[in-house]
Amino acid sequence: MNCSSERIRKGVDLFTSGYNCAQSVVCAFCEEFGVPHATGQKLASGFGGGIGGLRRTCGAFSGAVIIIGLLYGDYDPNDKVKKREFYQIIKDAEKKFTERFQTSICKELLINAKSHFEDSPMARTPEYYASRPCTIFVAYACEILEELLADYNKK
């Protein structure tokens, strides 16, 4: 299995073992950047459930943004051109995610999938995972990151 598939599988496995969607994406990639798993887990912990269960931006996509920051976020804060280029990378990633799922908003993703959800964390049971499309979002966020990493490594 190639590296891309291994990271995607790792992200999905993390999610199905109890990590939130953002943690699953971040922890699938963070060690690539010298960030320990435990640190990635902490950094992404508040982004699950669309930012702390608020059902706003999808946690899987938010996790991808954290990794995009590790990949491209080392620009000088006063360099407006580099900042604009960095934001464009995020906008392009969000556009891909939205083209695939019609939105990057957690609540809308779950409504579109006709999934039951609550504002507080739900018990992670086989029924929970069977009713949630989130593994698909985690996998696609990881796929987007793999593409960005491949492009970055070509430079």
Whether the pLDDT of residue 1 is over 70: the answer is no
pLDDT in tens, 43-64: 999 999 999 999 999 999 999 9
| Stated length of the chain | 155
> How confident is the model over 100-127, as pLDDT tens digits?
999 999 999 999 999 988 777 888 888 8
Calculate the average pLDDT of the chain.
94
Q: At CA 82, angle to CA 77 and CA 31, rounded to 5?
A: 80
- Taking CA atoms, 34 is separated from 20, 117, 130, in Å, by 21, 35, 34
Between vectors from CA 117 to CA 65 and to CA 45, what angle results, nearest 5°? Answer: 35
pLDDT of res. 5: 85
